[in-house]
Amino acid sequence: MAQKIKLSTIADALGVSTATVSLALRDSPLVADSTRERIKEHARAIGYIYNRRAASLRTSRSGIVGVVVHDIMNPFFAEILKAIESELDRSRQTFLLSNHYDQLEKQRNFIDTLLQLGADGVIMSPAIGTPREDIQMLEENGLPAVLVARSVEGAGVPVFRGDDSYGIGLATNHLISLGHRRIAMIGGTDQTSTGRHRYQGYVLAMEKAGLHVQPDWRIPGPRTKQAGFEVSGQFLALPDKPTAAVCWNDLVAIGLMNGIARAGLVPGVDVSVTGYDDLEEAAIATPALTTVWNGQSDVGRRAARALLDRLNGVAVKVSQELIKPELHVRQSTGKPVERK
Amino acid sequence: MAQKIKLSTIADALGVSTATVSLALRDSPLVADSTRERIKEHARAIGYIYNRRAASLRTSRSGIVGVVVHDIMNPFFAEILKAIESELDRSRQTFLLSNHYDQLEKQRNFIDTLLQLGADGVIMSPAIGTPREDIQMLEENGLPAVLVARSVEGAGVPVFRGDDSYGIGLATNHLISLGHRRIAMIGGTDQTSTGRHRYQGYVLAMEKAGLHVQPDWRIPGPRTKQAGFEVSGQFLALPDKPTAAVCWNDLVAIGLMNGIARAGLVPGVDVSVTGYDDLEEAAIATPALTTVWNGQSDVGRRAARALLDRLNGVAVKVSQELIKPELHVRQSTGKPVERK
């Protein structure tokens, strides 16, 4: 077995710092050309190239991948992150996380940090209002990006997300097939691509079935359990009393069901409710939630693989990859019941 | 206004890399003594000290703080993290997160990354089995640490956590005062300090009230909603049918209540259930959950402040700060009901 050669051996021999040696071996522009050449020559001469660490350094990789999403407290993102993490782990990439809470400035600060650290790449669910230039800047600075869950028009990087319009159509059609005619849509925002696609999918399914889409029946906003709980009174008081609610996600649906139960009605019997995402929790909710599986683990795994492919110089299709959602029918939906 | 002097100006003048200059100005041991002195002397000579960036460098700060916990998917940690994040934001520190999933190797990898990045400090909920030497090593390498939620015996760094023994005592005593005599304890593990303290607090409260602690009534393990749901059958089949369950945390309690409801019983009426943490979700659960507020936001805020104090050279007490929990009584607990 070859003896292990340390960076400090080279550094001591040449009278430079180990940091300089490390940077030089990674072809960093921070090191003067002449110094870099001197270091690389010496490294080759003493056989440093056979060292495993040097081999990894030759690829100019720092081993760091950044991941930034709206809010990792949201289990939807957490499930995507688990899949990303497990892929990156296998490639021994270190995984640095941050929330942007849909604040462009926070997203930019994190990205600045990644650039300063010489990170290898970034996986992001872009903040609301992210201009395509922000993504293009990453690429220009040698920080390859892959998007998950949300797209940015014209950014020219791979995007992995569920087919939101199709998915919400599955939920809406399921309610229609049970006999529901007055169906509300609760939660989400038109400021994200996801929000627009889900609302369009709901409208499309209603219109296809010849049903009237009442503007009042759209309660935009809620994205959390708490918010779903809080609008339950507003939902129950809607004009013409919708018999069912298509919810933005499972969190809103579970919150809404809790609110409906608190009002003395039985969700799944008196009012039908659908979720979106099929979080682990959906199956154990009371009642078990009918929802749309949104392929979080697929999104995460495929996004991580695409990034790793890019880092390894494998060509990656720069396009949207739509994961096809599936309807999972459980006890929160049933035939329509007219409330008094 | 003084002209801005760049690191590269010094680097070019001395024929070293900007990285070496940056490290030297931060007194990094990675740079040879003679080089460091040469760089610092030159920097002083050309007035670099008046540069704002240099001023920040003089404090040896990278602006990066690492945070590593068991699993950020757990809302308990997420609530601590929110508080940490908001404190660090105000001090313009960048916040890098990682999960260790109680794997020492993952924790060590993240810490290696932080050391390589020259991070300013780390806030951690240490993985099960973290030896005190791992924490001491951080300090020796100039990476100040603050612990949250869990302690490591003899580590000699500040720890912020709730008083678990006292807190679980509040829940147990509440059930005893309602008339319960057969009280089970569901979830948690003796492998963590938190787990041991909570179990001890439960035993202590039972014994103080002259009640028998039946070993069978302890179902260790569950820490998630899913796991709480899965042991509900085992709980309902326990010998002598306990009339109440003190749960490890709110997630286990909510999962258990869902399981109890699935079995056709009414949680809060047929069986009393207490949680721990008072997550946002506890108040909107069905039924609303009686639980122990565990001061997550206090823990996070005080830990972040302690770390910032350490970074600013303010002395910080190296001891355990126990946040005093409070009981929040809601609808999941009532008088005991004998099941057939």
Please calculate the CA angle B142-B144-B146 and round it to the nearest 5 degrees.
Answer: 165
Query: Could you tell me if residue A332 is inside a domain?
Result: no
- Residue A47 — pLDDT band, cuts 50, 70, 90? low
Kindly state the helix (H) or strand (E) to which residue A66 belongs, with its residue range.
strand A64-69
Give the number of other Cβ atoms within 10 Å of residue B5's Cβ. Answer: 17
| Dist. CA A101–CA A109, nearest whole Å | 13
Closest CA to B240 of B325, B182, B312: B182
| Helix runs in chain A, H state only | 7-14, 18-25, 33-45, 52-58, 75-90, 104-117, 132-140, 164-177, 193-208, 225-230, 232-236, 250-262, 296-311
| Dist. CA A263–CA A273, nearest whole Å | 15
* pLDDT score, position B29: 65
Most confident of A85-89, A283-287, B41-45: A283-287
Q: How far is B121 from chain A (nearest CA, A)?
A: 15
Q: What is the dihedral of CA B9, B13, B15, B18, to 10 degrees?
A: -20
B100 and B217 belong to one structural domain: no
Helix (H, G, I), strand (E, B) or coil at A231: coil
* B19·A32 Cβ contact <8 A: no
Task: For residue A137, give the DSSP letter.
Answer: H
Q: What is the pLDDT of residues B109-144, one digit of tens each?
A: 888 778 777 789 999 999 999 999 889 888 877 889
Nearest CB among B63, B261, B284 relative to A229 is that of B284
Q: What is the pLDDT of residues A98-156, one digit of tens each?
A: 889 899 988 988 887 787 777 899 999 999 999 998 898 888 778 899 999 998 988 99
pLDDT reading at A5 higher than 70? no
**Buried b / exposed e across B155-183, counting CB within 10 Å, b at 16+?**
bebbbbbbbbbbbbbbbbbbbbebebbbb
Kindly state the helix (H) or strand (E) to which residue A246 belongs, with its residue range.
strand A244-247
pLDDT reading at A2 higher than 60? no
A184 and A135 belong to one structural domain: no
Which of B40, B74, B77, B94 is the best residue to mutate to test the A interface, defined by the most A CB atoms within 10 Å of its own CB? B94
Give the number of other Cβ atoms within 10 Å of residue B112's Cβ. Answer: 12
Structural domain count, chain A: 3
* A31·B19 Cβ contact <8 A: yes
Which of A6, A20, A23 is the best residue to mutate to test the B interface, defined by the most B CB atoms within 10 Å of its own CB? A20
B207 phi, psi to nearest 5 deg:
-65, -40
Query: Could you tell me if residue B198 is inside a domain?
Result: yes
B157 and B136 belong to one structural domain: yes
Closest CA to B303 of B115, B149, B164: B149
Mean pLDDT across the stretch A289-311? 94
Interchain CB contacts (distance < 8 Å): A and B: 120
B289 and B180 belong to one structural domain: yes
| Dist. CA A260–CA A271, nearest whole Å | 8
A261 phi, psi to nearest 5 deg:
-65, -40
For residue B16, give every residue at least 6 positions away whose Cβ sits within 8 Å of its Cβ, in sequence order, or none. A16, A17, A20, A35, B35, B39
For residue B197, give every residue at least 6 positions away whose Cβ sits within 8 Å of its Cβ, in sequence order, or none. B164, B165, B168
Nearest CB among A19, A97, A258 relative to B286 is that of A258
pLDDT reading at B2 higher than 70? no
**Can you give the CATH number for the domain in which A227 is found?**
3.40.50.2300
Q: What is the pLDDT of residues A180-237, one digit of tens each?
A: 999 999 999 888 888 999 999 999 999 999 998 999 999 999 999 999 999 999 999 9
Between the two ends of chain A, the Cα-to-Cα distance in Å is 82
A175 and A75 belong to one structural domain: no
Residues of A in contact with B257 (CB under 8 A): 286
Residue pair B176/B209 in contact (Cβ under 8 Å)? The answer is: yes
* pLDDT score, position B15: 85
Residue located via tokens 């949207």: A320
A259 and A219 belong to one structural domain: yes
Query: Could you tell me if residue A116 is inside a domain?
Result: yes
* A96·B94 Cβ contact <8 A: no
Provide the β-strand partners of residue A186: A219, A247
Nearest CB among B19, B94, B281 relative to A20 is that of B19
A278 and A206 belong to one structural domain: yes
Query: Could you tell me if residue A157 is inside a domain?
Result: yes
Query: Could you tell me if residue B118 is inside a domain?
Result: yes
* A82·B73 Cβ contact <8 A: yes
* A284·B226 Cβ contact <8 A: yes
| Helix runs in chain B, H state only | 7-14, 18-25, 33-45, 52-58, 75-90, 104-117, 132-140, 164-177, 193-208, 225-230, 232-236, 250-262, 296-311
Among chain A residues, CA nearest to B82: A73
* pLDDT score, position B279: 94
Would you state the structure tokens that stand for residue B146, as one six-digit string? 């603050």
Nearest CB among A18, A229, A286 relative to B258 is that of A286
Residues of B in contact with A31 (CB under 8 A): 17, 19
B32 and B106 belong to one structural domain: no
* A286·B284 Cβ contact <8 A: no
Q: How far is B98 from chain A (nearest CA, A)?
A: 6
The size of chain B, in residues, is 340
Nearest CB among B35, B63, B98 relative to A96 is that of B98
Helix (H, G, I), strand (E, B) or coil at B338: coil
B272 phi, psi to nearest 5 deg:
-90, 140
A101 and A117 belong to one structural domain: yes
Q: Is the peptide bond before B144 cis (omega within 30 degrees of 0)?
A: no
How far, CA to CA in Å, does A289 sit from each of A171, A174, B253? 12, 13, 19
| Dist. CA B315–CA B313, nearest whole Å | 6
Q: What is the DSSP string of B125-192?
A: -PPTT--HHHHHHHHHTT--EEEESS--TT--S-EEEE-HHHHHHHHHHHHHHTT---EEEE---TTS
A147 and A196 belong to one structural domain: no
The size of chain A, in residues, is 340
A238 phi, psi to nearest 5 deg:
-60, 145
Would you state the structure tokens that stand for residue A213, as one six-digit string? 């889409």
Q: For residue B198, how far is the Cα from the chain centroid?
A: 16
Query: Could you tell me if residue B46 is inside a domain?
Result: yes
| Dist. CA B10–CA B46, nearest whole Å | 9
For residue B129, give every residue at least 6 positions away whose Cβ sits within 8 Å of its Cβ, in sequence order, or none. B102, B104, B191
- Residue B28 — pLDDT band, cuts 50, 70, 90? low
* B99·A85 Cβ contact <8 A: yes
Q: Domain range holding B16?
A: 7-50
Query: Could you tell me if residue A1 is inside a domain?
Result: no
pLDDT reading at A13 higher than 70? yes
Q: For residue B270, how far is the Cα from the chain centroid?
A: 34
* A64·B113 Cβ contact <8 A: yes
For residue B82, give every residue at least 6 positions away whose Cβ sits within 8 Å of its Cβ, in sequence order, or none. A73, B297, B300
Upper half-sphere CA count for residue A102 (Cβ side, 13 Å):
6
Helix (H, G, I), strand (E, B) or coil at A328: strand
* pLDDT score, position A28: 65
Residue located via tokens 């809620």: A222
Q: What is the pLDDT of residues B162-190, one digit of tens each?
A: 999 999 999 999 999 999 999 999 999 88
B137 and B204 belong to one structural domain: no
Q: How far is B321 from chain A (nearest CA, A)?
A: 26
Query: Could you tell me if residue B309 is inside a domain?
Result: yes
For residue A324, give every residue at least 6 positions away whose Cβ sits within 8 Å of its Cβ, in sequence order, or none. A162, A163, A166, A295
B267 and B178 belong to one structural domain: yes
* A225·B28 Cβ contact <8 A: no
Mean pLDDT across the stretch B61-67? 85
Average pLDDT, chain A: 88
Provide the β-strand partners of residue B186: B219, B247
Closest CA to A183 of A204, A157, A162, A166: A204
Residues of A in contact with B69 (CB under 8 A): none
* pLDDT score, position A60: 60
Q: What is the pLDDT of residues B216-270, one digit of tens each?
A: 999 999 999 999 999 999 999 999 999 999 999 999 999 999 999 999 999 999 9
Closest CA to A174 of A201, A213, A200, A192: A201
| Dist. CA A321–CA A302, nearest whole Å | 9
